[in-house]
Amino acid sequence: MKLHHLLLALPLAPAASADIFWTGAVSGDIFDEANWDLSQSQVTVIDPNVSIDDNVVIRDAPADVILTETGGGQLRFQLEEGRSLIIDNSRLVAAGNDGVGCFQGTQVGITIEVNNGASFEPYFVVNRVRVKIDATSTAIFGGPGDPLNIATVDMNYGSVLAFLTEDPSEFLTEHLGSVTVAGVPAVAGGNVNIVSDGNQGSIVTVIPQTVGTSYCMANPNSTGVASLLTGLGSDLVASNSLTLECSSMPPGSFAFFLTSQTQGFASNPGGSDGNLCLGGAIGRYVGPGQIQQAGAAGTVSLALDLNQIPSPTGFVAASAGDTWNFQTWFRDSNPQGQAVSNFSMGLEVTLQ
């Protein structure tokens, strides 16, 4: 089957709601106002322990953003309660023993979102901070004792949480109760795995949870077995952490994922050696980086954005209660050595 007429127009990106943006114009110093675009804000001062009454965005920073040492004691990059710090495809790291937080006594606190391969590496967070790590990102806390000081961390499938000076036993005793996975309390050996970093720290990862139900028989491909499509992560729309993984494909095969809210069955469509298990309006994950090539293990995977599910007429956002069906379409060869295509089995996911 030909891969033509598959690229869909992307919708216009929504306007950013934050008012302060990192530029890094003169250095990596987070406390230097010259490194920030303050033109959309009434804020004029970026100083330690002084609340910033605006949302803050650090996006696509080409170099590290540094919580610089500015004097004695533990200082913090501080936001006004109710505000958010978004770290997107960037690294924010403490040079010494400084951290990020809200003012003492707050009942609301702040949110820190770590997204799109970002890394958040403070010494500590304090005063009702909620750290949210997406499926591609990392948070590393450098301080001993209580680096999560009146604070919480929410992880997703693929997230990594690490402590440089808190070993696994200290994490279990002091921090396990402050960690959730897609909003569900972390359970050692249940939904999180805690191991030593080989020194004096610990590394916490999310144990993959399978999501969805397989349906529709797949035909064997040129490896002699049928390809398996698995859902990993969470079926919660709010967590937006569902990953598709297709295995047992021919090594080196090009593949992409299909989706529809309607199941169907078509044997050998368009000369394929497989079965199409979708009907109705079928969307194709063929955006940048979404058409993939299987490695030696014959596996491809894709972290979905449930706010942008492809359809023939554009992107749609999933809602709790929706049922979506998925399938993998990949290149294959038949016993005569001719180039054909094939399909995995279907996967049905009802979102919560």
pLDDT in tens, 262-317: 999 999 998 899 999 999 999 999 999 899 999 999 999 999 999 999 999 999 99
Which of 206, 223, 246 is the last residue before a domain boundary? 206
Q: Are residues 247 and 165 in the same domain?
A: no
In this predicted structure, what is the pLDDT of residue 208? Answer: 83
Position 8 in a domain: no
Whether residue 106 is contained in a domain is answered as yes
Residue whose entry in the numeric block shows the structure tokens 């079965």: 275
Instruction: Tell me the Cα Rg of the chain.
Output: 23
Regarding whether 53 and 161 lie in a shared domain, the answer is yes
Pseudo-torsion of CA 113, 117, 123, 128, nearest 10°?
Answer: 10
pLDDT of residue 108: 97
The verdict on 34 and 148 lying in the same domain is yes
DSSP letter at 108 equals S
Q: For residue 261, which amino acid is it?
A: Q
The span from the CA of 207 to the CA of 189, in Å, is: 8
Q: Are residues 167 and 253 in the same domain?
A: no
Question: 163 and 114: one domain?
Answer: yes
What pLDDT was estimated at residue 238?
Answer: 86
In a domain, 5, yes or no: no
User: Do residues 171 and 71 both lie within one domain?
Assistant: yes
Q: Is residue 33 part of a domain?
A: yes
Of 109, 122, 112, 113, which is closest to residue 65 (Cα–Cα)? Answer: 122
Helix (H, G, I), strand (E, B) or coil at 331: strand
Model confidence at 318, in pLDDT bands (50, 70, 90)? very high
Q: How sure is the predictor about 156, in pLDDT bands with cuts at 50, 70 and 90?
A: confident
Q: Of 157, 179, 206, which residue sits at a domain end?
A: 206
Last residue of a domain, one of 179, 206, 233: 206
The answer to whether residue 14 is domain-embedded is no
CB-hemisphere CA count at 13 Å for 311? 17
Percent over 70 (pLDDT), the chain:
94
pTM score over 0.95? no
Kindly tell me if the per-residue pLDDT of 66 is higher than 60.
yes
Same domain, 256 and 309: yes
- Do 198 and 227 lie in one domain? The reply is no
Examine the domain organization and report whether 123 and 191 are in the same domain: yes
42 domain-assigned = yes
Domain assignment present for residue 7? The answer is no
Q: Are residues 250 and 164 in the same domain?
A: no
pLDDT above 70: residue 199: yes
User: So what's the pLDDT on residue 18?
Assistant: 53
Domain CATH code at residue 243: 2.60.40.10
pLDDT of residue 73: 77
Residues 242 and 262 in one domain: yes
Calculated CA dihedral for residues 40, 42, 47, 52, nearest 10 degrees: -90
Mean pLDDT within 233-248 = 90
Q: Name the 3-class secondary structure at 269.
A: helix
Average of per-residue pLDDT across 72-96: 94
The reported pLDDT for the residue numbered 7 is 30
Give the count of domains, the chain.
2
Examine the domain organization and report whether 135 and 44 are in the same domain. Answer: yes
Structural domain including 129 reads 20-206
